């Protein structure tokens, strides 16, 4: 065995035997030699077991093996490797990825030079199933291009101080994805995080990659945020209010707020989501229609007010409507909130967990505000000197690069601190975000949108989750 390895690299493998050899060989090609390798057969039924046995017999001084008869998942593998790791630093390499020959040298030196940092992550290169280059991810430089650190490092290919990771208790095995996201939130604001502007690992894109399952990843991210936020007290120490702007006089969508959609008035879908969170001391509907005021005041846990006539025009800013509503609460109810959630009635597919995630994000990332978005994966163009020029050219190859990422506000949720609210501003300077699926982000702007959303809401009623009829 390497007497005192600087770095422990571990490779978990579950049915990725066809890629494993390249991953292992990339470790042996490292220019830095004071490393150990832990190979984990996580209940594979392909050619993984004999390949690991081959490596173990050829390199007994370099390789240790963990065998799980039944799969324990990525986090179970991570904790098993952490338990036996002897390196000062630890790095996960997925079995379908592989390292640049200088990866361990560069990242270990970065941590050596920055004793206050607990984690370092590099840029990386996207490759296809055959190892052909698709593009290079140039992550934003911390402190220079990124001050709000709400784009976490990749779980694989990042190097971590082993003692710090053990001090955090390793990884929570209740989740089976987003280990990098969990670690990021646990380290953020408590330990230093640095990055290096060099591509140091190769990230393989193929149909079986778990990172393709957007719905699962977003659900897991929500649960991780909630758990960590609750562990730190979350928003419990703050007075929280939800404001629901509910204009009901659109000529092209008459009486839209009270129109029956999937069996209940449209506004009920938003109010039910807000009530289900259990977060808010007050839920206040602000509307330009006295009938909406009367209707909402009959709903337990909901208050309503008639907004000023001047705030029903087409050029009215949402910030003006929200400010009037908050000042009404402060003046009439003596309630001065610390935290506001602004919820649109036109996005009824938004769920209570999205609202909670937005509140958790505001608290965890120390932002001024948080808005809900969906990631736009389309190829977009602007008009240049020679005609159309792509804004995100990597999408020609179906690769979404961080620097080309496009996010569209879906209007569903905006969470902010009361102190940053002005007549002209709901955002502040530091603006965080939550990502919702495009399917959950649909807005009612036309009658066609209304028909589509009603169809999707009726599909939801076939599941145990129901909207309260009141």
pLDDT one-digit tens code per residue, 408-421: 999 999 999 999 99
| Longest alpha-carbon distance in the chain | 81
Q: Tell me, what's the pLDDT at 47? A: 87
345 and 198 belong to one structural domain: no
What is the C-alpha radius of gyration for the chain, rounded to an integer number of angstroms? 25
78 and 194 belong to one structural domain: yes
Residue 220 inside a domain? The answer is no
260 and 134 belong to one structural domain: no
Q: Which residues contact 112 (CB under 8 A, 6 or more apart)?
A: none
192 and 284 belong to one structural domain: no
Pick the residue with more confidence: 240 or 177? 240
Which domain CATH number covers 320? 3.90.550.10
Q: Count CB atoms within 10 A of the CB of residue 52.
A: 23
Of the given ranges (211-220, 352-361, 411-420), which has the lowest mean pLDDT?
211-220
With bands split at pLDDT 50, 70 and 90, how would you rate the model's confidence at 469? Answer: very low
* Residues 47-56: tens digit of each pLDDT: 899 999 999 9
Full domain range(s) for residue 76:
7-206
115 and 246 belong to one structural domain: no
Residue 410 inside a domain? The answer is yes
Helix (H) or strand (E) holding 274: helix 266-277
417 and 306 belong to one structural domain: yes
26 and 116 belong to one structural domain: yes
Taking each helix axis from N to C end, the angle separating 266-277 and 290-297, rounded to the nearest 10 degrees, works out to 40
Please answer whether residues 350 and 252 qualify as being in contact, where contact means their C-beta atoms are separated by less than 8 angstroms: no
Residue 218 inside a domain? The answer is no
Distance CA 344, CA 241 (A): 14
What is the mean predicted confidence (pLDDT) over 133-141?
Answer: 94
What is the mean predicted confidence (pLDDT) over 385-389?
Answer: 95
259 and 366 belong to one structural domain: yes
Does 144 score more than 50 pLDDT?
A: yes
* Residues 57-114: tens digit of each pLDDT: 999 999 999 999 999 999 999 999 999 999 999 999 999 999 999 999 999 999 999 9
Distances (CA, A) of 7 to 112, 123, 155: 12, 19, 16
Does 217 score more than 80 pLDDT?
A: yes
- Of 164, 191, 206, the residue at which a domain comes to its end is 206
Q: Tell me, what's the pLDDT at 294? A: 97
180 and 328 belong to one structural domain: no
Pick the residue with more confidence: 90 or 46? 90
Q: How far is CA 8 from the centre of its chain?
A: 28
What is the mean predicted confidence (pLDDT) over 299-324?
Answer: 94
Distance CA 468, CA 412 (A): 20
- Of 206, 231, 266, the residue at which a domain comes to its end is 206
What is the mean predicted confidence (pLDDT) over 108-125?
Answer: 97
Total of domains in the chain: 2
Does 207 score more than 80 pLDDT?
A: no
Residue 470 inside a domain? The answer is no
50 and 100 belong to one structural domain: yes
What is the mean predicted confidence (pLDDT) over 198-216?
Answer: 81
Residue 166 inside a domain? The answer is yes
For CA atoms 362, 366, 367, 369, the dihedral sign is positive
198 and 246 belong to one structural domain: no
Residue 47 inside a domain? The answer is yes
User: What's the per-residue H, E or C state across 66-107?
Assistant: EEECCCCHHHHHHHHHHHHCCCCEEEECCCCCEECCCHHHHH
Residue 167 inside a domain? The answer is yes
Distances (CA, A) of 352 to 84, 271, 345: 41, 10, 13
With bands split at pLDDT 50, 70 and 90, how would you rate the model's confidence at 208? Answer: low
Distances (CA, A) of 427 to 85, 319, 433: 45, 9, 11
Residue 46 inside a domain? The answer is yes
Distances (CA, A) of 419 to 113, 165, 334, 368, 425: 39, 36, 16, 9, 11
- Look over the chain and give the mean of its residue pLDDT values, rounded to a whole number: 93
Helix (H) or strand (E) holding 265: strand 264-265
Of the given ranges (3-17, 112-126, 173-187, 208-222), which has the lowest mean pLDDT?
208-222
CA dihedral defined by 47, 53, 58, 64, rounded to 10 degrees?
120
DSSP H helix total and E strand total for the chain: 12, 22
182 and 43 belong to one structural domain: yes
């Amino acid at each position: 065995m390497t007497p005192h390895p600087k770095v422990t690299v571990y490779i978990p493998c579950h049915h990725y035997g066809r890629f494993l050899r390249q991953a292992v060989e990339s470790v042996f090609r490292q220019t830095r030699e004071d490393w150990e390798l832990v190979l984990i057969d996580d209940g594979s039924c392909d050619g993984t077991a004999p390949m690991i046995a081959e490596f173990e017999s050829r390199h007994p001084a370099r390789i240790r093996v963990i065998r799980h008869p039944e799969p324990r998942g990525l986090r179970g593998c991570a904790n098993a490797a952490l338990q036996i790791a002897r390196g000062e630093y630890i790095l996960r390499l997925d079995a379908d990825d592989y390292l640049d020959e200088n990866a361990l040298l560069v990242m270990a030196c970065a941590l050596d030079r920055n004793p206050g940092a607990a984690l370092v992550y590099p840029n990386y290169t996207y490759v296809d199933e055959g190892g052909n280059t698709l593009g290079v991810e140039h992550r934003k430089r911390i402190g220079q291009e990124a001050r709000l650190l709400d784009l976490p490092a990749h779980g694989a290919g990042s190097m971590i101080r082993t003692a710090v990771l053990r001090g955090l208790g390793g990884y929570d095995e209740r989740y089976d994805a987003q280990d990098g996201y969990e670690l990021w939130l646990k380290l953020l604001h408590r330990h230093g995080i640095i990055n290096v502007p060099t591509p140091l690992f190769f990230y393989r894109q193929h149909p079986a990659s778990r990172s393709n399952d957007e719905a699962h990843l977003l659900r897991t991210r929500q649960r991780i945020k909630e758990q960590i936020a609750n562990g730190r007290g979350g928003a419990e120490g703050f007075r929280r209010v939800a404001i629901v702007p509910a204009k009901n006089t659109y000529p092209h969508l008459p009486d839209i707020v009270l129109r029956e959609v999937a069996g209940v008035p449209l506004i009920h879908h938003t109010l039910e989501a807000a009530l289900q969170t259990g977060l808010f001391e007050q839920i206040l509907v602000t509307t330009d229609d006295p009938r909406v005021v009367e209707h909402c005041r009959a709903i337990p846990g909901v208050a309503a007010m008639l907004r000023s006539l001047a705030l029903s025009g087409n050029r009215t800013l949402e910030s003006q409507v929200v400010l009037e509503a908050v000042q009404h609460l402060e003046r009439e109810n003596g309630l001065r909130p610390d935290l506001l959630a602004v919820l649109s009635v036109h996005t009824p597919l938004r769920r209570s967990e999205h609202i909670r995630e937005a509140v958790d994000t505001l608290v965890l990332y120390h932002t001024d505000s948080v808005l809900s978005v969906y990631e736009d994966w389309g190829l977009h163009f602007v008009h240049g000197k020679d005609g159309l020029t792509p804004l995100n050219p990597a999408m020609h190859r179906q690769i979404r690069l961080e620097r080309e990422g496009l996010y569209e506000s879906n209007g569903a949720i905006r969470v902010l601190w009361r102190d940053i609210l002005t007549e002209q501003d709901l955002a502040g300077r530091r603006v965080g975000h939550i990502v919702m699926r495009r399917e959950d982000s649909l807005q009612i702007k036309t009658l066609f949108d209304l028909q589509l959303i009603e169809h999707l809401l009726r599909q939801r009623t076939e599941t145990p989750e129901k909207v309260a009829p009141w």
